[in-house]
Each structure stands twice: as C-alpha cells, then as structure tokens.
Structure 1
Amino acid sequence: MNRIPWVVIAAAIAVQGEARLGVARAQSPAGEYARTATVTSLTGLRADVTWNPLRVTVREPATGRVVSQLGASGIPALFFESDAGSRAIQGDPIVERTTLNGYRATYALDAGRRAEVELQWTPAETLLVTLRFEPDGEIRRLGAQLPVASDEHFVGLLERTVDNPAADGRPLSAALDLRGQTVSMFVKPTHSLYLPFYLSSAGYGVFVEGTWPGVFDLAASRGNTTAFSFEGPELKFHVIPGPDPAAILGRYVQVAGRPLVPPKWAFLPWRYRDEHVNLPRFYDGTAYSGPYNSQVVEDVLMLQALDIPLGVYWIDRPWAVGHEGYDDFTWDRRRVPNPERMIRWLDDKGIRFLLWLAPWIQGSIVDEAKRRGFLMPDLASQNDHSHVDFTNPGATVWWQDCVRTLVDAGVAGFKLDRGDEEVPGRVDLRTADGRTTREVHNDYPRLYAGAAHQLLTARRPDDFILMARAGYTGSQSLAAFWAGDSSTSEWGLRQAIIAAQRAAVMGFSLWGTDIGGYGMRLDREVLARWIAFGAFTPIMQVGPTENRGLWDMPTEPRYDTELIAIWRLYAKLHTALQNYSVAHALIARETGVPMIRPLFLAFPDDRRAWDTWEEFFYGDDILVGAIWRKGQRAMSVYLPEGDWLDMWNPTRLVSGPITLTVDCPMYKIPIFIRPRAATARAMGDLNALWDDSLKRARAKPDLAGLAAAIH
C-alpha cells in the first residue's frame, strides 16, 4: 500500500458510491479534507478526526451531539511514557486509508521512532483505536486522554470500592461512582474482578483490549481529564457510543464477551461451610454415626425440616488428604466418608454438589508436573502452592485428567478460588505460550476457569456451574463469580452492595457473595440484612456463617428463631423468582444488560439515579433497597418515574418520581415492583410468607428422628 502525505489525502477520504454491506462509508467535508476526515458507521455514527493536533470526536447521527472525544484543547489525545517522561503524539502524519471505514496515520518522532495510529469502526459499532511504535524499546506505557464534564460519572473497572486491598471492609465515603479515583488494572486478592471497561454518564464507554497491566486516572489528577495508559507493545481500545447505558453495554459485550447462562438449578439457594468436620454428634448433642459427613447431613436435614429451599451444596478445603487438605485431588474419606454415595443422596433430594478448587496443586503429583514442565515459572515465590501453567495445552489436559474423577463421581461444578495470588507478574519470566508473566498475570484467572469449563463441558454439558473469585476480560463467559472474602461488618455488606453493581456493569452478570461475610465473628444484624440483599442477587449463597447453622449461633439466642425465619423468607422468595432469574440471565447474554442493574441503567436521564447506589434493580421489574447500617429501621427510598407497587403493602400503588420513608424492621427491606401481574404472582404475599416462616422456625426440628432415616 502506497503512503501519501496528509496534505493530499482528499482522494483517500472522499470516496463516493454506495456503502457495501458490513462496511461503512468514509467522508470528508469540502475544504477540510487536508487536515480532517470523517468516518461514518453503518448506522450513521460519526468519528470526526483532526490529524494535527490529533483529536477524535464521536457524534450521534441524528443530532450531531458529541458522545465522546479523544483529546481537546490542552489535552493530547494519545501519548506515550518513557524514561524521559510523558509525550503527546503530535505532528503532521502520513495517512493511509486501510478500509472504507478505517485509517492509519504515521507520526515521525525523535530518534527515528514512528507512532502508528489506526482508527476503525467495528461490526459492533465501536470505534477501535490502535497505537503502536516502531521501534518500541524504552516505551513504558501507551495512553489516551478524554475531556471530562463537571458532572460526569464513571462506573466499572473493578469490583472493590477503591483500588486498595487494605481498605476492604473499612469505613469509606467512596461508592459506585469512580470519579476522582486512580485504578491500577492488576488483579489483586481477594475482591478480584477487574476489567478495563468503564461506562460514562456522558453517553459512552471505553474498553481496552489485552491483559497487560495499566492505570486509569478518572479525573483524579486533573478534574477535567480522564486518562489511561497500559504496558505492552501496543494499545488497542474501543470507544463505545451510546447514547444510553443499555446501548453501550449491548455493543460492549460484542467485543468483550457475553456473560454465562447457567443451568436453571443454579438460581436456587446455595449453602456451604468453610471447613467441614465429621463429628460424632449434631449441634444439639444428638449422636450421629451415619454414612456421610455429619455437618453436611445436619445442614440438609435442618433446612429440609424448616422448609428452607436448597439447590446447591458445596464443600470448601480441606476435603482431600494432605496437610492442607488438597493433595492429589484424593478424598479424605475420614472427613468426607462415602463421597460418591453422599453426592447421589444429595442428587436424589434435588441438590447439586460442588467442590472447592485452586489453580495450584499439592501432593505427589507436584513432582510429575515439575518433571514435565507443567508449572508456572518462579516456583520459589509460590511456597507450597505450585501453580499450573494453563498456557501450556499439555499441562491443561494433564490437570483436567487429575480432576476428571471428581466430575465422574457426580461433582456438578467447582468453586474456583484463588487465581489472584502468587501468580508472578514479571517481564523476565515467560510461560509456555511465550508471553511474559507480566502479561499473563491478569489473564491467569481466565485460563484457570477455561480449563475447568472445558472439562465440565465435555463431561456434563449444560449441567454444571463454576463459581470463581477472580476474573478479567473473557472470564465472564465461563463462570459465575463471588465477591471474595468480605468482612462480616456492616462495611463489608456496604462493599458487597457496591461490588454487585460494579461487577454487573463490567459484564460479570452472574454474581453472588458470602452472605454474612467471611473469616470473622458473625454479626447477627448484618447477617439478617445480608440475607435479604442476597436474595436479589443471581447466586444466593449462605455461608460460611462461622461453620455453623443459624440454629447453632455463637451468641444468644443460639437457636435463632428470627434469623432462621429471615433465611426461610428470602430463600423462598429467591426460589419463587427462579424462572424470572433464568429469563434475565438470557437477557444479559443477548443484550449485555445485566441481571443486577444500577438505577441509572433504567433511568439514564435521571441525574439522581446516577447518585443512588443503596437501591438497585433485580431484572426489569424489581427495585430493592439494600440496608447495611446497623440499627437502621427505616429507609428513604427514591422511586424514579413510573408506577410502583409496594410488595409489603400490595394495595398501595405509588407514582414516581417520589421519595418515601419505608419502615424496615430487621426482617424487612424495601421491595417495589413495576405493576406487572406475573412478577407480583411469583413473589406472592410477603407478609403471609413472613408469618409462616416465623411459625416454621419456632418448631425446632427433631434431628434424631430425621437422621434415623438415612442410616
């Protein structure tokens, strides 16, 4: 292809004629062709380009309204960072036309270096921008900048409230809006969902391809600028026009990947404990010598007797032999006796069984993996956790062969823990596919989930689920996710409420949390509020609850009638919404609009919706108020425009926009729905359900009689 100076680019831009199917028309206004170009997508979206100084302005087709801009006065569009500092891409380029809807501009820089900038509309109607250098030595990062409006909001990028693991579960003022934050795109434990995509209230989104580490500065350093820069030999990112958030997400999932739709049973309530012990007695002193783990049996029999729905049960580590309970994928049959029979027993009750996994191995199989070169480099940094190199196809097949016996025994999926720790992030180490571990670090959770997904697809197609802690681009098509090790405090619950909505916007639509938090003493009131919140997340997972049931609390009342009734109320409600959840999982896959939805997704023109995060939608119809503060017994609820039915007072129809104060005793959170008969019928009479749940909880089950049936 011949290169021509930008001063004679008219012939390359002003091509006339009918646009072909799948290709947009390039245009150039008369008199401006030398320094500018306009590329129009098939639906009329316009990218107006000025080559020097480089600026790109994306406009709506009907109104010409500016949707997004790369660069502005005093804000260079693209830049690079080296040892000498940061420099803008500028000068008079040589411009080539690459397709009818794409261009390449080559800028000559110092020391014989050239910067190439490519602009291309994609079939998804996103503007793909590529920046690369020749030669690329001494370049640390490549970046871009966009001007920011004074009232602009940003949502996405990471699950945790702020990008500081030390702040997890602690008092924070930051909430859903990322404005003013700096986010490092480097997966960190344990709230480990990261994805280089954000959605702006200005009507656009940005998605950066690849897995190299990077940084987003969301008007933190300069209040009028958002900037991002990434390591690696090139920077490729999509400017995604709206005009509204739903349209942005619809285009985003076409280039980043669509969320998973699991089997229907995944939308039933889940239960687990962090550590199972096979005890000779149940919590109440009843002797037990049955064929299965006593705590599994206690949970299942108590929940069944209390009429608390249960569809998924899983066991965490330790479950295998070895000093950490994870050697050689071999059952510890003293801790988990007769596991194959136990799984069949659960299956007969309609309960699917899952098991904990990590991406590292222990036991005698480590020596074989080392000998065959199947482990990640830098083993010295991994202590006793030898991580499998999932970039190596042979290592992946070998690991799958090790795990296959568990699947063939009836395990219906895995909780994929870790993947966010101990994976080296160095440029001097390379994995089997030739990439540096610096580039692989963010991709490792996807590789790990992909290996498990491939195995389960082969052994039990369409009848399994994976639940992962860590994720990056591509992970959303492979698994569901949970919010890591959340604090058991009210601040842990607050973080989970924000994480649910952030994760949803990033495309991790299938999401849940450890209800009640993890790793610290339970807080009775926080647990109650968390159960209510969890009922309106796709995965309602109660556990680990200090490895005890709510009938065996560590504080008085030990048999907690109220908490048991709250669990039953919301587990029943979650189960009643099973078909509703399936329908909205399909919507999420097809449209990108997630199951959990911040208010602004439904009401993008309502400025208050962008500031509201303690309320969210579950699907199209259900608006939920999430209470997280201890001692709170009323909530101020904002209802956007439209008619709303109060599910605690179903004769009450409220017209918005309006703000109401709703009484919220410990068992109750605000629940409003759009007045649609099918949703109201599915949810039923909540007051009657609460009364019945209290009645059932007060009748303490007789474990001795229940256990006799399984001998």
Structure 2
Amino acid sequence: MPSPQDYQENTPEALTFKQLQQLQKQVKRPKSRVRASGWVVRRLLRVLTKPFRIIFRPKVIDFGAIATVVPSQTYQLGEFTINWQGADTQKPYLYINHADNPSKIIWHTPAGQNFIAGAKVHLEIIEERGSVEIDENRKSQFPNQTVDRIEEAGDFLVIFGRLQESRSQGESAQYALYFRTSGSKQLDFYLHIIGDDINLAQLRFATSADEHFYGFGEQFSRIDCKGYEVRIVTEEGGIGRGDPGPKTLNLLGVAGTMFSSYAPAPHFITSKMRSLFLMNTEPSVFDLREKETASVRIFSNRMQGRILAGETPLELIELYTAHTGRMAPLPEWVNYGAIVGMQGGTRLVQSVWEKLRAFNTPIAGFWLQDWVGQRKTAIGKQLWWNWQLDENTYPNWKELVADLAQEGISVGVYINPFLVNPPSEQIQGRRNLYQEAEEQDFLVKDEAGEIYLVDNTDFAAALVDLSNPNAREWFKSLIKEEILGNGAKFWMADFAEAAQFDGKFYSQESGLSYHNQYAVDWAQVNREAIAEVGKEGEVWFFNRAGYLKTPLFSTAMWLGDQNVTWKENDGMPSALKGLISGGISGFSINHSDIGGYTSIAYPILLALGIGFKRSKELLFRWMEMNAFSPIFRTHEGNQPDANVQFNTNDETLATFSYWAKIYAAFAGYRKKLMAEAATTGYPLVRHLFLHYPDDPNTYKIEDEFLLGSEFLIAPVLKPGATSVNVYLPIGKWVHLWSGNTYGNVAQGMYQQIDAPLGQPPVFYRQGSPDAQAVLEALKEKGLLN
C-alpha cells in the first residue's frame, strides 16, 4: 500500500492500476453531528443568525499559491493533450486540449494559483422531514500547493505534489492527481489527498465572467448557476425556497433554499462548451461565485470525475449520459391521453370518468394514490404507508380496473420506501409490512441499533434498508404482488431523499456516501421489479428523488411538490426551470403536477396574505404549459377541497379535456423524441442554448423552452398577463394558433405575442416535416378553430 513517503520514492513503473485501486479504499470523510432542527427556540436562533453566519463565515478553503520545480511540458493521452506551464513561467498552470479542436481549451487551472487544496472539516447536519442543512465547520485548511513531479505511468498521467497548511510552519499533506482516457472524448481524473486527516478535497479551475453554467440536475430557482454556490445533496425541495410565505416554515426547517433539489447531479455544461462531472456519491459543492475562477469540493479526501470534450451542448449531453445511463421510451399508451390524478374511492372515480367521457377526453390512466387508504394529518390528507389495497376505499377494485382497461385506460397507484406500523383496525386482516420488515431486519437502524424512525408531518415512519440485498428482493416482491398483481400499470415511486446521514446500513457504508446513492437504488428496485415480471415497455413508474445514475433505471421523473403559486422559486416558473435544467443532466423524460401540489389555505393565513391556494387561472396556465411536456398529469394537492381542480365544474372539465387533446395530438412527435432520448440522452424539453449555443441571447433565458428542436413554447408565467415578449432564435417561426410567421433568418429577435387564456405562445419551425405532421393531427381533431 503506497504511503506518503512512497510518493517521493516510487518510480513510474511502480504506480500500477492495482495500487490506484488500493488508494481508492483509503477514504476519509468528515465526521459529523446529525440532528433534527429541534425545539422552536433553537430553530429560531438559527434562523435569526443565518444572515450573520453567511456574511462572516470564512471560505472553507482560501485561495492559495502554487510553486513548482517542474518545467513546462506537454503530454499526450489518447486524443487529449495535457499542457503544463511550469517553473520556467511566472504563473504556472495546467490546460487541456483535444485533437478535434486543438485551439480550444476544454479545462484549465488559474494561472499562478493553486488548483488542488484540502481541508479538515466537521459537519453539522440538520435533517428535518427530508430537508437538509449542512454547515462545514473548518478545523484547518491546506490551500498552498506544490507540483513536485509529473510522470507517465502506464495509461496514466500523474501529478504529484504537496499541500501546505495556511498558517506558517503548518502541517503538510501529499496528493496525487491521475488522468486517464476513458474513451476518445472522455478524460477521467482521480484526486487523492493523503495526510493529516484531510477529509475534504477541492479542485479549482479557471472560468470567465461571461461563461454560463447549466445542469446540476434539477435546479428550480436558476437555470444558469453562474454567480452562485450549488450544493449537490438529494433532499426535499422545501416549501417556498425563499418565496414569500409563512415564516413558521423556516422555524420548522422545511422552507428549503434556492438550490434545494430532489434530484441534483454533480455535473455542468457551460456556454463555452466545457463540461465536467463527478462520480462520487458524497455531497459536493460547486462554487461559481467568483468571476474568473470556480471550484468543486467533495466531502471526502478523494475525488473522481470526468472531463468531456465536445463541440456542441447536445454532443456533451450524449457523452455525459453514456456514463449515467439513458431513459427508455415510455409505454406507447402514455402518449395518447391524460393521467388523471384523483382520490376518493371507486364510486367517485366512476363518476369523474363519466364526466370526462362527456367531453370526449383522451385518458391514458387514472392515478389513484389513495389505493392504500387515507389518514388525516397536520398538512391535510396523507396515505397509510402499508402498501396494500384498501378495499374499504376501493370496493370492487378488480371490476374497476377491468372496466377501465376495456376502454384502454390504465390504473396507477402510489408507493414510497417508508413503512408505518398501522393500528390493527386499519389492517383488517391484511399484512403488516412494517412488522414483516422489522422481523427480517430490513429497516435502517440508528446509532443505538434501534429502528430509525423519521418524522413526517405528525407521524413517524421507518425506511427500508436498500443496501440489504434481501430487503431489496422483499420490496420487489411487494411491487410484484401488491401493485402489479392488482392490475396497476404505473405508480408514483415517491421520496428516497431521506436516507439518514447517521443511519446504520446493512452494507456498513457511511451515510455520507450512501445518502445520494439511496435514490438511485430506489429507482433500480422499481425498475427491476418490472423487468423480472417481463413488463418492460408496458409498465412504468415515476420518481422524484434522483442522483447521477438515476436515468439508467428510472422510467420517468417528476419534479416534486411545487407551491400552487406564480412565484419564482417554488411556483409554476420553478417547475419549468427544474424541467429544463434536469434535462441537461440526463433526466430526459420529466414532468410536473398540473397546478402544483402544496397549498397553505388556512383562512387566517389567507386573510393575512401569506397563505395560498390554487386559482383557476393558475390551473389553466399550468395545463397550457404541460400539454407540451412529456407527461400530462394532474394532482389534487395536499388540500384538495381548498383548490380549484380539473373537475371543479364544466369549465374546468372542458379546458382540461381540450389540453389533453392537444397533448395527445403530439403523440407521434413525442415518441420520436423518446426514441432519440434513449439513444442519445437528449431531453424532450430543451433549453434554447442546446440548439443555439452561438447565440448569447439564449444564455439567460429561463421562461421559454423547445420541445425537441421543432417547437418553441413561451408559457404564460405571470397572473393576469395577456401577452408575452418571446425570444425567437434565428429562423422563421410560425405561430401555432394564428398561422402568422415571425422571426428573422439573419438573427434572433424578440416579439411581443398576444397570449389570452387558451392561446399560450407556441411556434413551430417553418417548413418542418415533424411540425407539419402535428399540425395535421391538430386540424383533424378541430383543435385550432
């Protein structure tokens, strides 16, 4: 096993890949204290002091110096050229080119400054109902870097050096940075820091004030993240995320922040066609606040990632998703109608079905999340988390499923990886799944070895330990028997962002490294259950929590619980931003709840102007937006009776039916895009930058999108608005509703477009065969009259 001394003595021949693998096992992660937010006074103090902690908090690692005795040299790794400007220059730095475009720098370090650093930190982690706060308490930092040797070792190029503590006469540590090609356009890097209990590694790189950063998984407040610090940890999205609302949400620890995300990814693509991602599962932080430099730090002493070489954003997405996996096309039947989300039992479903039939509404499925029965909680109605059919709520279930199937309509349900120990009167002769899991030791334990109970509103639940292979098989059997065995053809696979940082897992893995991975394992369990019964391409599920390799297993994503508001950080605009940014990071088939989910409709809060509930206008505008997304699905929300629903009256039913028909008319085009996503990783919903990377006007656009390459949609995102100032990229664009042509073949332009209710700005590319096919389908159904 190599030691720090070995780095000074080893010959290149001794640095084998086997030794690199051994080094990877020498992982040090920060120690942490994990707790809930606790009693209100402590939480209040934390909320009140947060601005001061942000202002006076030192950087985790300061900028540092770099020193070297290694002269300038050039190295070749496959088609990559790694250039070291060293001791014979005033400001040493490293830069990388690729043979496809030798004049373009795909990655480079700041001239005359450190690019590798480390620190010793202790983490204070606060978990509250899936929301996560992480304070990095720095004990010491190692910002000053030397480059002592650069050597070629087999397939690797290795940079060896030391890191010096910031204080004079401080401690030092050794590091090794390895590069190796993993394909003609993929360059892997592996950083390992050894010494003095360093448990945080950082990599810095150069950028510029005009470089824009996209990706990072689903990001709901910003698509371009330049100027911000983005923490990559799977967590609850939060309620409000900085938007105005009840301040008690801050006290409860569930408000979230601008960059709280159910499905983040340690990945970016920039406007200068640079791309990098990490392969670690530990939380990471991308600091993009400086104009000329950026950094990524990981809660570990080792960092593994990949630099990509591509000439267009779509090429970079294709290279990235070759590693993460790509989402398969949805079953064909999903494309031909709405997914009707409702609750209330068999009779109510039949009643709503009759009303929808009266409007000739295309229906792909009824999503009946209360199939397991409901309980009343502090936030409204929630389900019994004991994943079996409740025949009191749904008598004659089999007949209902069969009747719907005769009309080509599928039935969907709901599950999550938590279990609640239900009272005996609720079970009524059925299985107690909590008890089964407890008896077989399938539940995550706490530090005392007891079942780790997680608070969720006003009840507690236990999380199934998916690091246990037997627990995974058991849960897959539940999906096969209780869901598929009862005729359901799709389901929401909820949660998975709350794997405990201080949990004791069967695999003995650290909670810090397993927290993000749990979401991937949850998607894998659901996907394997489908495959093992031979239902691939027929049955599907949608999940909200995700991480790097979720696209390999998920059949569809959904964007979680937006507020039923127009607000930027957690309302309708945030759903659009999450859809667009997630697509850049491989979540190619994604969608949001029509109308949002979370309302705070208590009369006193509404009277004070800090509560909110779904309006008819918001519902209609959200229908307009989602008709051009991969899936058209409603959700009643957490307080159904307080909110306008798709079936509130004949007007809402007629409007819902109309937009479901619009959605169905795009079926052929969506199927083509899904096939493309499966082979390339391209998202269905795309930022304009993906097709117009040379147009700087597209870089900051966050309120319109492309469906594929042929349709442009600018949804109405403000209440009372009847027109939208739309940016039309270069070319001629035809307005879907009027047939008028806009745009310029020489350059992009802004155009003010009328947008009354029922006519959001939608355009198609002039002369597009794909658009013409959709147009004919719309005309055939009389939908453009």
Q: TM-score range by the shorter chain?
A: 0.7 to 0.9
Structure 1 residues 453 and 54 mapped into 2: Cα distance closer, same or farther (>3 Å)? farther
- CA deviation digits over 1:58-87, x for unaligned, max 9? 225355333333421244222111255332
Residue in 2 that maps onto 1:149: 208
1:680-691 equivalences under 5 Å are: 680-684=772-776
Checking the alignment, whether the CA contact within 8 Å between 1:246 and 1:601 is kept in structure 2 is yes
1:513 aligns with 2:580: no
- CA deviation digits over 1:633-669, x for unaligned, max 9? 0111111112222212226364342322111111111
1:196 aligns with 2:266: yes
In structure 2, C-alpha distance between the alignment counterparts of 1:51 and 1:337, rounded to whole Å: 76
SS in 2 for 1:396: helix
CA positional deviation for 1:330: 2.4
1:473 aligns with 2:548: yes
In structure 2, C-alpha distance between the alignment counterparts of 1:580 and 1:202, rounded to whole Å: 30
Checking the alignment, whether the CA contact within 8 Å between 1:412 and 1:463 is kept in structure 2 is yes
Checking the alignment, whether the CA contact within 8 Å between 2:119 and 2:199 is kept in structure 1 is yes
1:619 is matched by which residue type in structure 2?
A: G
Residue in 2 that maps onto 1:25: none
2:292 is matched by which residue type in structure 1?
A: N
Larger deviation, residues 65-74 vs 455-464: 65-74
How many equivalent pairs are there? 634
Structure 1 residues 623 and 74 mapped into 2: Cα distance closer, same or farther (>3 Å)? same
In structure 1, C-alpha distance between the alignment counterparts of 2:645 and 2:531, rounded to whole Å: 44
Residue in 1 that maps onto 2:537: 462
CA positional deviation for 1:299: 2.7
SS in 2 for 1:620: coil
1:207-218 equivalences under 5 Å are: 207-218=277-288
What fraction of aligned residue pairs are identical, expressed as a percent?
Answer: 20
State the TM-score, normalized to the length of structure 2.
0.75
**Of 435, 442, 465, the match for 1:374:** 442
1:516-527 equivalences under 5 Å are: 516-520=595-599, 521-527=613-619
Larger deviation, residues 378-387 vs 300-309: 378-387
1:68 aligns with 2:103: no
Structure 1 residues 554 and 485 mapped into 2: Cα distance closer, same or farther (>3 Å)? closer
Checking the alignment, whether the CA contact within 8 Å between 1:75 and 1:225 is kept in structure 2 is no
In structure 1, C-alpha distance between the alignment counterparts of 2:286 and 2:173, rounded to whole Å: 26
CA positional deviation for 1:160: 3.6
Question: Considering only aligned residues, what root-mean-square deviation do their CA atoms show, in Å?
Answer: 3.1
1:101-120 equivalences under 5 Å are: 102-108=156-162, 113-120=173-180
CA positional deviation for 1:255: 1.9
1:232 aligns with 2:300: yes
1:308-327 equivalences under 5 Å are: 308-317=361-370, 319-320=372-373, 325-326=383-384
1:86 aligns with 2:141: yes
CA positional deviation for 1:582: 1.4
**Of 413, 431, 449, the match for 2:505:** 431
Residue in 2 that maps onto 1:602: 691
In structure 1, C-alpha distance between the alignment counterparts of 2:70 and 2:11, rounded to whole Å: 8
1:330-409 equivalences under 5 Å are: 330-363=388-421, 364-378=432-446, 379-383=451-455, 384-405=460-481, 406-409=483-486
SS in 2 for 1:637: strand
Checking the alignment, whether the CA contact within 8 Å between 1:5 and 1:95 is kept in structure 2 is no
SS in 2 for 1:432: coil
In structure 1, C-alpha distance between the alignment counterparts of 2:355 and 2:773, rounded to whole Å: 28
CA positional deviation for 1:296: 1.6
Residue in 2 that maps onto 1:295: 348
In structure 2, C-alpha distance between the alignment counterparts of 1:341 and 1:265, rounded to whole Å: 21
Structure 1 residues 64 and 320 mapped into 2: Cα distance closer, same or farther (>3 Å)? same
1:415 aligns with 2:505: no
Checking the alignment, whether the CA contact within 8 Å between 1:147 and 1:226 is kept in structure 2 is yes
Structure 1 residues 54 and 414 mapped into 2: Cα distance closer, same or farther (>3 Å)? farther
1:536 aligns with 2:583: no
State the TM-score, normalized to the length of structure 1.
0.83
Structure 1 residues 237 and 327 mapped into 2: Cα distance closer, same or farther (>3 Å)? closer
Residue in 1 that maps onto 2:73: 36
Checking the alignment, whether the CA contact within 8 Å between 1:70 and 1:77 is kept in structure 2 is no
Residue in 2 that maps onto 1:182: 229
Structure 1 residues 318 and 648 mapped into 2: Cα distance closer, same or farther (>3 Å)? same
CA positional deviation for 1:588: 1.7
**Of 647, 651, 670, the match for 2:761:** 670
In structure 2, C-alpha distance between the alignment counterparts of 1:555 and 1:356, rounded to whole Å: 20
Structure 1 residues 78 and 462 mapped into 2: Cα distance closer, same or farther (>3 Å)? same
Structure 1 residues 678 and 508 mapped into 2: Cα distance closer, same or farther (>3 Å)? closer
Residue in 1 that maps onto 2:186: 126
- CA deviation digits over 1:190-239, x for unaligned, max 9? 35111111111111111111210111111x2x222111100124101112
CA positional deviation for 1:683: 3.0
SS in 2 for 1:66: strand
CA positional deviation for 1:506: 1.1
In structure 1, C-alpha distance between the alignment counterparts of 2:101 and 2:523, rounded to whole Å: 44
Structure 1 residues 233 and 353 mapped into 2: Cα distance closer, same or farther (>3 Å)? farther
